[in-house]
Amino acid sequence: MTQTADQQHSRKAARRARVKTKRRSERVSFRTLVTMVSAMGLLATSALPSYGFDPETTALAGIARDHSMKVSEETLQGLSLAGAESVEFTRGEYSEAEASEFQVNRPRARVYNGPLAEDYIAKPRFTAITSGNLMKAAAELVGTPYVFGGETPAGLDCSGFVLFVYSQFGVALPHSVYQQSKLAKKIPLSEAVPGDIVVFNDYSHNGIYAGNGMYYHAPQPGDRVKLAPISVQRYHLVRLVDIVG
């Protein structure tokens, strides 16, 4: 049977429609595949920092992560982080870092097996309370590391330093800036002698007056007992006991 022109035209149109539908379906499938691959790549890239570095080590060291890894130098409570050279990372490449680059250095505390404050109170080291003897007892502790709550030459805080020095003269003191101040008599600066106590007005710190605007003190975490200028203006002086010049 001979096909009419209309029938032939209809069949050609149907074939063209099927071809267009097939091509459209292939394009959609290709775009879907590209989208999925891109999404997986972005997810893997964003996950690299969390899998590439140990989170506990990162939190402890304070190491910043972006396209590079850098270790900053800082000090906290006597714990210092040694600076390390930057280690550059690029996608697909890395350089192994030595463990020594992330070493945490802690100042070694003194080993002290000598008399404690209570031992000196029971049996004083010095029989005469003089400025010279007080300066000697304070100067011997220079270099002792600051330790919060410390009251021996293994480690001292500010009031622990005053406590230990005065214990060597048989004077018992509480371990508190405020309480030590309340046991003493306030004196004008013009009457102060080496061995009197420097007290910050807010009772946040104290030390032993050395004359000429200087004092011995245990400054802060990460520091050590030292002789230094009195660096604040809001302070006063107190006298715990009569001092022979």
Beta-bridge partners for 228: 215
Q: Which two tokens stand for residue 172?
A: 């018992």
Q: Confirm if 200 and 235 have CB atoms less than 8 A apart.
A: yes
In whole angstroms, give the CA distance from residue 71 to residue 86: 7
Residue 245: the pLDDT is: 72
Residue 57, pLDDT > 50, answer no
Residue 111: the pLDDT is: 82
pLDDT tens for each residue of 131-183 = 999 999 999 999 999 999 999 999 999 999 999 999 999 999 999 999 999 99
In whole angstroms, give the CA distance from residue 43 to residue 37: 10
φ, ψ for residue 217 (rounded to 5)?
-160, 160
Question: Does residue 84 or residue 230 have the better pLDDT?
Answer: 230
Residue 82, pLDDT > 80, answer no
- Give the distance between the most distant pair of CA atoms in the chain: 139
Q: Worst-scoring range by mean pLDDT, 34-38, 55-59, 218-222?
A: 55-59
Residue 121: the pLDDT is: 97
C-alpha distance from residue 42 to each of 37, 53, 55, 141 (Å): 9, 18, 21, 59
- Domain residue extents for the chain: 1-49, 53-106, 117-239
The catalytic residues are 158, 205, 217
Q: What is the rounded average pLDDT for all residues in the chain?
A: 75
pLDDT tens for each residue of 186-206 = 999 999 999 999 999 999 999
Beta-bridge partners for 186: 238
Sign of CA dihedral 199, 205, 206, 207: negative
CATH assignment of 117-239, given 3.40.50.300, 3.20.20.70, 3.90.1150.10, 3.90.1720.10?
Answer: 3.90.1720.10
pLDDT tens for each residue of 2-56 = 456 666 666 666 677 676 666 665 565 556 666 666 666 555 554 444 334 444 4
Confidence of residue 244 (pLDDT cuts 50, 70, 90): confident
